[in-house]
Chain A
Amino acid sequence: METQAFQKIYTKIDQITKATITLHATGVGNEEIALVNDRLAQVVKIIGDEVTLQVFAGTEGIPTNSEVIFFGRSANLKVGEELSGRFFNAYGEPIDGGPEVEGEEVEIGGPTVNPVRRLQPSEFIPTGIAGIDLNNALVTGQKIPFFADPDQPYNQVMSMVALRAKADKIILGGMGLTNDDYLYYKNVFDNAGALDRIISFVNTTEDPSVERLLVPDMCLSAAEHFAVDKNQKVLVLLTDMTLYADALSIVSNRMDQIPSKDSMPGSLYSDLAKIYEKAVQFPEGGSITIVAVTTLSGGDITHAIPDNTGYITEGQLFLRNDTDVSKVIVDPFRSLSRLKQLVIGKKTREDHPQVMNAAIRLFADASNAKTKLENGFDLTDYDERALEFAKDYSKKLLAIDVNIEVDEMLDTAWGLFDKHFKRSEVSVKKELVDKYWPNSSE
């Protein structure tokens, strides 16, 4: 970001707080960006000629005689095919040692899609992860978070989704990633040779936390470029939205706003909705799908962040450690994709909905049997078989390291039904049983 002619430059700051500076300036627009002592800042308040700027990197070491240069525009991003395969920071500057990107400049945090111009989401995005594709199928234009505890391997799952998802572009927004996790993503993407369709905007824990507020807007502006101008299917991965919300609360606190539930700003719902609602199916074929991570504290989903998220997103995914098979699985009970009905059995094989329901029901029977066992009751033969089924089901389908096509998932499920149950116990429509039940028994 170089200075250009006719930019307004000031050199006297009147007030400095932890995150903001205030100075006397005129002709400044709301949300305009500026450089304060070479740090990026944005106008957040104007009263008369008193302009308050939020300095993203914090105000440590900023003297009252710093140079303040206004840009006369709001924050933007240069978009184009050159973004592919690159890593950027929250300002959209390369951090992979590569050259600056040349391209069309677009304002970030742009306007909203007219709801009557949206299409109903109807395309299936396979991820290869059966716990998602089979039980919680994702649809283009959907927004869905993983609700995960911090110790769960959500970054691994996200990277797998990034590598396997059948999308034209994958955009990763990393907020508050540890440096280790950042390097992990970088390695995984490098090794998979999938870099040409992956773009990353990363704010690590080494960067100032307020900077990460820019990350989702950067990702989504890039996404809109590919989805609208190039009609591509874009998948945006945002991790971790809890850290994003934390940054919001820091800013609102420093702006002396009255906090609402869980010390979050009162506008949390709107702030999150503005991001998630960028997920859309465009009529021309392009789409933006958002998969996010919201970390929970102690599994508490009534906390303001997961709670507001749940009201905005179209379902949620839960990871769980299945100790019976020592694998991390996508929890079939608590996870829900609200849009799956739009594709399963329609864009996938006809038996998908029934197989999905039957398998989950049998898995639930197993969990009841387990409770019985724990309470010291005797198990019936059916209970025993259900428990065996549950182990197989966890290992061969729910585990996050499974990577197969949907048809294979369905065939696997039929195989498990056959191995453990009688046809009548599975209660699937007869014509489907006749068609898909393996011929081995009965």
Chain B
Amino acid sequence: MSKKDNITKGKITGIIANLVIVEADGPVQQNEICYIVQQDSKLMSEVIKVLGTTAYIQAFESTRGLKVGDQVEFAGHMLEVNLGPGILSRNYDGLQNDLDRMEGIFLKRGAQTDALDHEKKWTFKPLAQQGDKVIGGDWLGEVTENWLPHKIMVPFKFKGKYTVKSVAGEGDYTIDDTIAVVTDEDGREIELTMVQQWPVKVPIKNYQEKPRPFKMLETGIRTIDTLNPIGEGGTGFIPGPFGSGKTVLQHALSKQAEADMIIMAACGERANEVVEIFTEFPELEDPRTGRKLMERTTIIANTSNMPVAAREASVYTAMTIAEYYRAMGLKILLLADSTSRWAQALREMSNRMEELPGPDAYPMDLTAIISNFYSRAGYVYLNNGKSGSITFIGTVSPAGGNLKEPVTEATKKAARCFYALSQDRADSKRYPAVDPIDSYSKYLEYPELEKYLKENIDENWPAHVQLMKDALLRGREASEQINILGDDGVPVDYHITFWKSEIIDFVILQQDAFDAIDAQSSLERQKYMLEKVIEIYHTGFSFEHFEEVNEFFKRLIDTLRQMNYSEFKSDQFHQYEKELEQIIEERKG
């Protein structure tokens, strides 16, 4: 911060694709940001290796036309984001440039736009008082962003204790106006605005403690909530071959999940998928609040054709924004699609640096990088006793659909929930294609989460869920037997076992992400339907012939699905429920 007077400068001495070699005339820090000066623009780059006075930098943009001898200016800090009111509902690129403010249809090289609006006035309400002792991350005041109480905090970078000398009174201010003055331990006065900067690669740790996740995050998606729930502040990942519905599932999560804020990092994926969000989210309603989805969403779009190096930065930018909002005591869901593209960006760079490669030419420290990143999620108690959380779910695009590849394996070590998408399920249109048997949630093993489920859903809930998983497994075994021995070659009971598991599959696991009602299933509704299914599971039926079994259960499934498509507890819903009971009566015994 104090280096303004003597910035380090440098000259380009070499260029290999987006790796640029620079001879620097002063001190350089690892991961420092620097700018390559061109006639009409400055290209942002990051130092990734230093040898003596030679800095190796990766350019975040195309290096076409750069020449040996071109000037480079070092910024004196690492890649930072601007944190302040106005981030919500924005569409940023991986370096937090506001995409909507860029001119023209094409992204101009070197174009930079402000992440925040400097003109807009926010209505500020003070929360701190003169004389308060504060530390980094403490709340000084509050503005309302869309609908969200956005806390203005003592900058996270502040070390040690500070005393509030004055706080601005209630009123309208821009983000650059001084809203508080604090004094440090030596009595120096520091003026604070609503904006602060933070380096994206460093976790924000201004909280008291990070307990294990003990609550569940409601996602509205049955195969997750009912079968393998994710803890609030937990981590999960969704690997799947192309065409298995990763992105549809992530979009469903972003629409249905119960969170204060959703941050979506579209990292190296199709631009048309992001366009879909741009088009739909301002229209679609949040089922819980009735507000438009875009009002609680921030998008970091670094699509596959945008510069590779910025792709790596994009996930960190997204995580840092999430940490900023978590420090306000909010519940954040962070989605990244896809983390494999980020890993590939690391690989491209490692390759150009001529580092010794690890498996599949990925850098050796891939596992460490991935687990470090996942560890930034979590449920935290802030210094003022309030709590906030970041739940992180990333997708992985395994090469060739092979789950033994390095990115999947490294992620498996870091993430606690595993939602494996299966090609077979996708082929037979059983969506979401999450494999119920391969997938897991480690949080189910946490006694604190079990307690939460028992208290908040039902005493018997964990037992029911376990029963259902067993039934699915038994159903799969029965189906294998039937396939081997033929329909006639097994007792009718096998068919009943198989079809009972099909009920679970069709009614609980499968969910229509494109149906207005079925797409979102509240916990209350999930509990209701699970109990229905369990009731059927415990009912004994009698049949003469296997063909009767198929027909009977198909009718059961059809009626149960009609219930799924009906408004919960509506007349129509109860109508189907009555029908269901009549069908059950036919074969009871």
CB distance from B355 to the nearest CB of A (A): 9
Whether A27 pairs with B67 at a CB distance below 8 angstroms is yes
Known: A115-B99, A312-B270. A120 touches B304 (CB 8 A): no
What residues on A are CB-neighbors of B397 within 8 Å? 311
Question: Is B213 in the interface zone, CB < 8 Å from A?
Answer: no
Known: A47-B14, A48-B14, A258-B361. A116 touches B348 (CB 8 A): no
CB distance from B361 to the nearest CB of A (A): 4
User: Could you tell me the distance between the alpha carbons of A442 and B360 in the complex, rounded to whole angstroms?
Assistant: 62
User: Could you tell me the distance between the alpha carbons of A120 and B241 in the complex, rounded to whole angstroms?
Assistant: 24
Chain B 272-305: CB-based contact to A (< 8 A → 1; otherwise 0): 1011101100000000000000000000010111
Question: Is A280 in the interface zone, CB < 8 Å from B?
Answer: yes
Known: A47-B13, A112-B106, A339-B272. A270 touches B65 (CB 8 A): no
Whether B65 pairs with A228 at a CB distance below 8 angstroms is no
Whether B400 pairs with A74 at a CB distance below 8 angstroms is no
User: Could you tell me the distance between the alpha carbons of A114 and B306 in the complex, rounded to whole angstroms?
Assistant: 9
- Near B by CB (< 8 A), chain A positions 26-64 give 26-32, 44-49
Whether B102 pairs with A114 at a CB distance below 8 angstroms is yes
What residues on A are CB-neighbors of B357 within 8 Å? 258
- Pick from A28, A269, A280: contact of B271, CB below 8 A: A280
User: Could you tell me the distance between the alpha carbons of A32 and B67 in the complex, rounded to whole angstroms?
Assistant: 10
Question: Is A336 in the interface zone, CB < 8 Å from B?
Answer: yes
CB distance from B44 to the nearest CB of A (A): 15
What residues on B are CB-neighbors of A260 within 8 Å? 347, 360-362
Known: A114-B104, A303-B400, A339-B272. A273 touches B304 (CB 8 A): yes
Known: A46-B68, A258-B357, A267-B348. A336 touches B243 (CB 8 A): yes
Give how many A-B residue pairs fall within 8 Å (CB-CB): 160
Question: Is A257 in the interface zone, CB < 8 Å from B?
Answer: yes
Chain B 245-256: CB-based contact to A (< 8 A → 1; otherwise 0): 000000000000
What residues on B are CB-neighbors of A267 within 8 Å? 308, 344, 348, 351
Whether A32 pairs with B361 at a CB distance below 8 angstroms is no
User: Could you tell me the distance between the alpha carbons of A277 and B99 in the complex, rounded to whole angstroms?
Assistant: 17
CB nearest neighbor in A for B355: A258
Question: Is B107 in the interface zone, CB < 8 Å from A?
Answer: yes
Question: Is A150 in the interface zone, CB < 8 Å from B?
Answer: no
Question: Is B242 in the interface zone, CB < 8 Å from A?
Answer: yes
What residues on B are CB-neighbors of A228 within 8 Å? 105
User: Could you tell me the distance between the alpha carbons of A47 and B68 in the complex, rounded to whole angstroms?
Assistant: 8
Known: A111-B106, A120-B272, A273-B304. A30 touches B67 (CB 8 A): yes
User: Could you tell me the distance between the alpha carbons of A120 and B283 in the complex, rounded to whole angstroms?
Assistant: 14
- Pick from A109, A116, A280: contact of B278, CB below 8 A: A116
Known: A111-B109, A116-B91, A312-B270. A307 touches B399 (CB 8 A): yes
- Pick from A30, A115, A269: contact of B275, CB below 8 A: A115
User: Could you tell me the distance between the alpha carbons of A266 and B99 in the complex, rounded to whole angstroms?
Assistant: 29
Whether A302 pairs with B303 at a CB distance below 8 angstroms is no
CB nearest neighbor in A for B345: A270
Question: Is A304 in the interface zone, CB < 8 Å from B?
Answer: yes
Interface size class of B (residues with CB under 8 A): 35 or more
- Near B by CB (< 8 A), chain A positions 332-385 give 336, 339
What residues on A are CB-neighbors of B106 within 8 Å? 110-114
Whether B68 pairs with A302 at a CB distance below 8 angstroms is no
Whether B67 pairs with A111 at a CB distance below 8 angstroms is no
What residues on A are CB-neighbors of B17 within 8 Å? 44
What residues on B are CB-neighbors of A115 within 8 Å? 91, 99, 271, 274-275, 278, 301, 303
CB nearest neighbor in A for B18: A30
User: Could you tell me the distance between the alpha carbons of A266 and B399 in the complex, rounded to whole angstroms?
Assistant: 12
CB nearest neighbor in A for B405: A261
Whether A116 pairs with B100 at a CB distance below 8 angstroms is yes
- Pick from B64, B102, B105, B360: contact of A282, CB below 8 A: B105
What residues on A are CB-neighbors of B574 within 8 Å? none
- Near B by CB (< 8 A), chain A positions 136-164 give 141-142
Known: A31-B65, A266-B361, A311-B397. A277 touches B271 (CB 8 A): yes
Whether B107 pairs with A32 at a CB distance below 8 angstroms is no
Question: Is A118 in the interface zone, CB < 8 Å from B?
Answer: yes
CB distance from A188 to the nearest CB of B (A): 31
Whether B64 pairs with A112 at a CB distance below 8 angstroms is no
User: Could you tell me the distance between the alpha carbons of A119 and B279 in the complex, rounded to whole angstroms?
Assistant: 8
Question: Is A259 in the interface zone, CB < 8 Å from B?
Answer: yes
Question: Is B63 in the interface zone, CB < 8 Å from A?
Answer: yes
Whether B68 pairs with A257 at a CB distance below 8 angstroms is no
User: Could you tell me the distance between the alpha carbons of A114 and B113 in the complex, rounded to whole angstroms?
Assistant: 13
Question: Is A216 in the interface zone, CB < 8 Å from B?
Answer: no
CB nearest neighbor in B for A257: B351
Chain B 446-477: CB-based contact to A (< 8 A → 1; otherwise 0): 00000000000000000000000000000000
Whether A118 pairs with B272 at a CB distance below 8 angstroms is yes
Whether A261 pairs with B399 at a CB distance below 8 angstroms is yes
For the complex of A and B, list the 8 residue pairs with the smallest distance between their C-beta atoms, beginning with the closest: A302-B400, A273-B304, A277-B305, A310-B242, A260-B361, A47-B14, A29-B65, A31-B64
**6 residue pairs A–B, Cβ–Cβ below 8 Å:** A29-B67, A46-B14, A111-B107, A113-B106, A115-B91, A307-B399
Q: A114-B107, A273-B268, A277-B303 are in contact. List 11 more A-B contacts (CB 8 A).
A: A45-B16, A47-B21, A114-B102, A116-B102, A116-B278, A118-B275, A120-B276, A121-B272, A261-B360, A270-B308, A310-B242
